Chain A
Amino acid sequence: MTDTVQVPSEKALQEVALTGDEYRLAVQILGRHPNHVELGIIGALWSEHCGYKTSKPLLKRLPTTGPRVLQGPGENAGAVDIGEGLAAVFKIESHNHPSAIEPYQGAATGVGGILRDVFTMGARPVALLDSLRFGPLDEARQRYLFDGVVAGIGGYGNCIGVPTVGGEVYFDESYRHNPLVNAMCLGIIRHEALTRAVAAGPGNPVLLVGADTGRDGIHGATFASVELDEQSEERRPAVQVGNPFLEKCLMEACLELAGDPRIVAMQDLGAAGLTSSTAELAWRGGCGIDLDVSKAPRRESGMTPYEVMLSESQERMLLVVERGHEQAIQEAFAKWDLRSDVIGTITDTEHLVVRDGGDVVCDLPLRMVIDDVPMRHPEARRPAELDAILARDPLAATPPFDAATALLRLLGSPNIGSRRPIFRRYDHQVGDDTVLAPGGDAALLRIKGTSLAVAVTTDGNGRYGRLDPRRGAEIAVAEAARNVVATGAEPLAVTNCLNFGNPEKPEVFWQLSEAIDGIAAACEALQTPVVSGNVSLYNDTTGISIDPTPVIGMVGRLEDVERRVGAGFAADGDAVFLIGPVAAELGGSEYQRIAHGVAEGPPPALDLALERRVQDAVREAARQGLLRSAHDCAEGGLAVALAESAILGGRGVRAAVRETEHPAGRPPSWVAGILFGETQSRFLVSLEMELKVEFRALLDQREVSYREIGVIGGDRITVEGAFDVPLDEASAAFDAALLDSHA
């Protein structure tokens, strides 16, 4: 029967991003043809963006439970217990497509969206982070995108008064046509005030609060679920202008109401606007919902029900209120000069019913639009060329320059150099909690009235992912945890943003599947469950996919803020130790890119059991107050970590690494591999000489390899026999890396 169903035109289906088969399925379930409004709603809810129709089966593989998990995936944000009756609430989200079209507003509204996800849970946002990817900065357009995105993130975060305390930014060919803009938000709340987006109580009124509804971003959700192409130009009205001032008022009003028994549920309006917020809110509670779009305040005249239901106008919230209390709640919003309107009621019909005044314009079973999303199971295929690329030996290449030059080039690389030109444009202090500011490893925020602090970071490396998506994802999790541990904190849980190309390509789907397995394995090993996340697929332009770029946001807990550790060398005469393995691994390294312009050979190996042992040992050393500085070895390897700790501390260092001393009989890039290779599971720490014995004992007992490599002091950065550069020369290169790039 179904194949005889009359299907609308290509164009009509394209507008709602449905296939003919999906349309037939809809007709089959409904037993009739959907009308225009219903078709738009089905298209939005069955889109990748809302329905996760490609990724959902894979996401089931992620570990999502643990003793501290209070809220796993499925809500607006995840939540973990951090002690003292407090919870950390956090999530990361992408705004890649909008930012590619209008960098300032795209990034700004991305920040606005992730903030709403957190205060919808009742939690006060205390930190923002931004994970960014662009093409090489030598192209004017990339500088324009970079500058616009940074300005937009600051423009929203600074205005609303939530500090942007961290993030990351990398520049690579892979992102030339598809910049990535992921924003993470962390909030803190008392357990009992956690608010869910679960409707209940048929007859309870539904309130729409905040901005008027305009023709903003109609089909934004479907837009994020297709490749960018020339026609993207025509979709430009999808760009929206955010209003951080309105959101600030909305946030304060919602926080005043958090935990109020008269509030049954809160849900922000994000992708697909009223459509997904009403449907998900009702369905989570096994209810139905009946709304009248004529009651929604409009910014523009002549808007159709279709437009109102699919508008993605920012700064709007939906609340379910105990019947009879709507007026009191509306007054609470009026205090902040916020408009609120009762636009519907919760029902027990399990249907989404939409009226336009008198007439019903939509009546859809919620199960159909949410649970019955037709899943896609594309074919997965490992890229054929991968074996050849992995087979190449990175150590065989002849270094184009000596180690000192290499170090300075790396420190001056936009992928490694100082991010100050970015984070000085972000208010990273408001709230009076930022104890470790951006510029080191993870950021650390104290929690007033307790001895606690939370560490937070984002990490991800697309070049490893290109070579091995599974290991790339494992490394992203491990590095995020390492950044948390470097502050002394214990990694607790993870949020993740999966930035990939078009999953309809077998190679991309394979990458996605591998990466998710990698995240799962690493999160298991490090006991950091995934509590929230976001998927951004179709990061393709004219057929070229980005490198697989899973971005991991991690939150950690520090019992005693006084036990925190910074990344910069703290005192002359302190001993410098390298903890973890020494090896010569250059595959996919920043050195390889700078020296040879390639990413080939195997990415660094990762032994998750070893990673765990190393991290636990460093954390224990920090807990015992043995460390005066700790920094993880990431891009640029041991030598860059050494230089960064020296630069951040304003102190020279003299070190020796015996593997570099007798390169005879070694492959040409051996020394470079030891110095700049990005071998995993490593920290560079410093401590008082008197504590060395105690420290060694701790590491021996935990079966962690380590070695004392040098001592802090002087005004040069030296690795005997390898390089000897003046500290100020290194600092100058580091500081200049992003300076003349407009940001």
Chain B
Amino acid sequence: MRFGIAVFPGTWSDRDCAHAVKLDGHEAVELWHKDRDLHGVDCVILPGGFSYGDYLRTGAVARFAPLMDSVQEFAAGGGLVWGICNGFQVLCEAHMLPGALVRNGSLQFRCEPSWLRVESTDTAYTGALRSGQVLQIPVSHGEGRFVADAATLDLLEEQRRVVFRYVAPDGGAVGEASPNGSLRDIAGIVSEGRNVLGMMPHPERACEQLLGSADGMELIRSVAASLSRTASFA
């Protein structure tokens, strides 16, 4: 599979994402923010970082990059667009996903393990996972508190578009231990078409036991599996 990895000024998990997908035998293609060419990739990753320093608002400026026009088209055509951390923030700013990501409730940056319960396996990113499965994947952000109005939140729940929720290691409610105070403990959501995923935690940091967890690799495998399925139908 070919994973396209966007690079905006200030992006920093591009190299980690490339490393992770290569570990699973895939190709990583850099997508420079000034280009519109997606080089025929199967899945676009908008990686973590501080695009444009996250000045003004996280993701606010990156959203206008020429590359994002192509990414929007790609998504409109059903292409897989995977926003991680800053990438999630960009997707919300671009209105490709609802809601917004604001300053952590603690007002502090948080880099620590987080535990995610898989809420929906009906996406290309979670197809190979069990619903209710708990993944250990680290967070690293200062502005990851997901907010949206009640109607939007209800709609997300109703359409089963909440893909990951922060939980305690045992799968119970996370409560005070939430890394950011997200409404309804939301850690990741998908678009209505279920092809655009935004998540704050960093799966690319959890692809090797050497680094403490390999749970993130399950997501990459899911994507690869679903892509080969669609390919075989095509």
User: Which A residues lie at the B interface, using CB under 8 A?
Assistant: 151, 154, 158-161, 243-246, 248-249, 336-337, 423-432, 434-435, 437, 446, 448, 561
Q: How far does the alpha carbon of A158 sit from the alpha carbon of B15 in the complex, in Å?
A: 15
B50 on interface, CB distance cutoff 8 Å:
yes
Residue among A151, A432, A446 with max Cβ neighbours from chain B (10 Å): A432
Determine the chain A residues whose CB is within 8 A of the CB of B142 once the complex forms: 158
B19 on interface, CB distance cutoff 8 Å:
yes
Determine the chain B residues whose CB is within 8 A of the CB of A243 once the complex forms: 53
Are A427 and B9 in contact, with the CB atoms below 8 A? no
Are A429 and B138 in contact, with the CB atoms below 8 A? yes
Q: How far does the alpha carbon of A427 sit from the alpha carbon of B55 in the complex, in Å?
A: 18
Are A446 and B210 in contact, with the CB atoms below 8 A? yes
Task: State whether A159 and B140 are in contact (beta carbons under 8 Å apart), knowing that A245-B53, A429-B205, A432-B211 are contacts in the complex.
Answer: no
Determine the chain B residues whose CB is within 8 A of the CB of A428 once the complex forms: 111
Determine the chain B residues whose CB is within 8 A of the CB of A435 once the complex forms: 210-211
Task: State whether A161 and B49 are in contact (beta carbons under 8 Å apart), knowing that A249-B9, A337-B9, A431-B16 are contacts in the complex.
Answer: yes
Residue among A161, A249, A336, A446 with max Cβ neighbours from chain B (10 Å): A161
Distance in Å from the Cβ of B204 to the closest Cβ of chain A?
7
What residue in chain B is nearest A147 (Cβ atoms)?
Answer: B108
B122 on interface, CB distance cutoff 8 Å:
no
Q: How far does the alpha carbon of A246 sit from the alpha carbon of B110 in the complex, in Å?
A: 23
B112 on interface, CB distance cutoff 8 Å:
yes
B74 on interface, CB distance cutoff 8 Å:
no
Distance in Å from the Cβ of B64 to the closest Cβ of chain A?
14
Are B13 and A158 in contact, with the CB atoms below 8 A? no
| A/B interface sample: 10 pairs, CB < 8 A | A154-B109, A245-B52, A427-B109, A427-B140, A430-B12, A430-B16, A430-B140, A432-B15, A432-B208, A561-B210
What sequence of 0s and 1s flags, for each residue 9-47 of chain B, a beta carbon within 8 Å of any chain A beta carbon? 110110110011000000000000000000000000000
What sequence of 0s and 1s flags, for each residue 178-222 of chain B, a beta carbon within 8 Å of any chain A beta carbon? 000000000000000000000000101101101110000000000
| Cβ 8 A contact of B50, one of A158, A423, A425 | A158
Q: How far does the alpha carbon of A643 sit from the alpha carbon of B17 in the complex, in Å?
A: 38
Q: How far does the alpha carbon of A337 sit from the alpha carbon of B10 in the complex, in Å?
A: 12
Q: How far does the alpha carbon of A424 sit from the alpha carbon of B13 in the complex, in Å?
A: 18
Please report whether the interface of chain B is mostly helix, strand, loop or mixed according to DSSP. Answer: mixed
Determine the chain B residues whose CB is within 8 A of the CB of A430 once the complex forms: 12-13, 16, 48, 140, 205
Task: State whether A336 and B9 are in contact (beta carbons under 8 Å apart), knowing that A424-B112, A425-B109 are contacts in the complex.
Answer: yes
Determine the chain B residues whose CB is within 8 A of the CB of A425 once the complex forms: 108-111
Determine the chain A residues whose CB is within 8 A of the CB of B12 once the complex forms: 160-161, 248, 430
Are A159 and B10 in contact, with the CB atoms below 8 A? yes
Q: How far does the alpha carbon of A428 sit from the alpha carbon of B111 in the complex, in Å?
A: 7
Give 6 nearest A-B pairs by CB, closest first. A161-B12, A245-B53, A159-B50, A432-B16, A427-B140, A427-B111
Are B19 and A432 in contact, with the CB atoms below 8 A? yes
Q: How far does the alpha carbon of A151 sit from the alpha carbon of B108 in the complex, in Å?
A: 8
Distance in Å from the Cβ of B140 to the closest Cβ of chain A?
5
Are B211 and A429 in contact, with the CB atoms below 8 A? yes
Distance in Å from the Cβ of A185 to the closest Cβ of chain B?
16
Chain B interface category by residue count: 20 to 34
Determine the chain B residues whose CB is within 8 A of the CB of A154 once the complex forms: 109
| Cβ 8 A contact of A434, one of B15, B20, B48, B211 | B211
What sequence of 0s and 1s flags, for each residue 51-81 of chain B, a beta carbon within 8 Å of any chain A beta carbon? 0111100000000000000000000000000
Q: How far does the alpha carbon of A437 sit from the alpha carbon of B142 in the complex, in Å?
A: 19
Determine the chain A residues whose CB is within 8 A of the CB of B210 once the complex forms: 435, 446, 561
Are B138 and A432 in contact, with the CB atoms below 8 A? no
Determine the chain B residues whose CB is within 8 A of the CB of A158 once the complex forms: 50, 109, 111, 140, 142
Determine the chain A residues whose CB is within 8 A of the CB of B10 once the complex forms: 159, 245, 248-249
Residue among B109, B204, B208 with max Cβ neighbours from chain A (10 Å): B109
Distance in Å from the Cβ of B203 to the closest Cβ of chain A?
11
Determine the chain B residues whose CB is within 8 A of the CB of A246 once the complex forms: 53
Task: State whether A245 and B16 are in contact (beta carbons under 8 Å apart), knowing that A154-B109, A159-B53, A425-B108 are contacts in the complex.
Answer: no
What sequence of 0s and 1s flags, for each residue 160-183 of chain B, a beta carbon within 8 Å of any chain A beta carbon? 000000000000000000000000
Determine the chain B residues whose CB is within 8 A of the CB of A423 once the complex forms: 111
Are B111 and A245 in contact, with the CB atoms below 8 A? no
Determine the chain A residues whose CB is within 8 A of the CB of B19 once the complex forms: 432, 448
Determine the chain B residues whose CB is within 8 A of the CB of A244 once the complex forms: 50, 53
Q: How far does the alpha carbon of A151 sit from the alpha carbon of B204 in the complex, in Å?
A: 25
Are A245 and B13 in contact, with the CB atoms below 8 A? no
Determine the chain A residues whose CB is within 8 A of the CB of B111 once the complex forms: 158, 423-429
Are B50 and A432 in contact, with the CB atoms below 8 A? no
| Cβ 8 A contact of B204, one of A159, A160, A426, A432 | A432
Determine the chain B residues whose CB is within 8 A of the CB of A429 once the complex forms: 111, 138, 140, 202, 205, 211
Distance in Å from the Cβ of A725 to the closest Cβ of chain B?
25
What residue in chain A is nearest B112 (Cβ atoms)?
Answer: A424
Q: How far does the alpha carbon of A281 sit from the alpha carbon of B205 in the complex, in Å?
A: 40
Distance in Å from the Cβ of A158 to the closest Cβ of chain B?
6
What residue in chain B is nearest A243 (Cβ atoms)?
Answer: B53
Q: How far does the alpha carbon of A333 sit from the alpha carbon of B48 in the complex, in Å?
A: 23
Q: How far does the alpha carbon of A568 sit from the alpha carbon of B196 in the complex, in Å?
A: 41
Are B50 and A245 in contact, with the CB atoms below 8 A? yes
Residue among B111, B204, B208 with max Cβ neighbours from chain A (10 Å): B111
Distance in Å from the Cβ of B125 to the closest Cβ of chain A?
20
Determine the chain A residues whose CB is within 8 A of the CB of B108 once the complex forms: 151, 425
Determine the chain A residues whose CB is within 8 A of the CB of B53 once the complex forms: 159, 243-246, 248
Q: How far does the alpha carbon of A291 sit from the alpha carbon of B15 in the complex, in Å?
A: 38
Q: How far does the alpha carbon of A315 sit from the alpha carbon of B224 in the complex, in Å?
A: 41
What residue in chain B is nearest A437 (Cβ atoms)?
Answer: B212
Q: How far does the alpha carbon of A577 sit from the alpha carbon of B19 in the complex, in Å?
A: 40
Q: How far does the alpha carbon of A180 sit from the alpha carbon of B161 in the complex, in Å?
A: 49
What residue in chain A is nearest B51 (Cβ atoms)?
Answer: A245
Distance in Å from the Cβ of A418 to the closest Cβ of chain B?
13
Distance in Å from the Cβ of B56 to the closest Cβ of chain A?
11
Are B20 and A432 in contact, with the CB atoms below 8 A? yes
What residue in chain B is nearest A448 (Cβ atoms)?
Answer: B19
What residue in chain B is nearest A429 (Cβ atoms)?
Answer: B205
Distance in Å from the Cβ of A254 to the closest Cβ of chain B?
14
Distance in Å from the Cβ of A559 to the closest Cβ of chain B?
16
What sequence of 0s and 1s flags, for each residue 121-163 of chain B, a beta carbon within 8 Å of any chain A beta carbon? 0000000000000000010101000000000000000000000
What residue in chain A is nearest B204 (Cβ atoms)?
Answer: A432
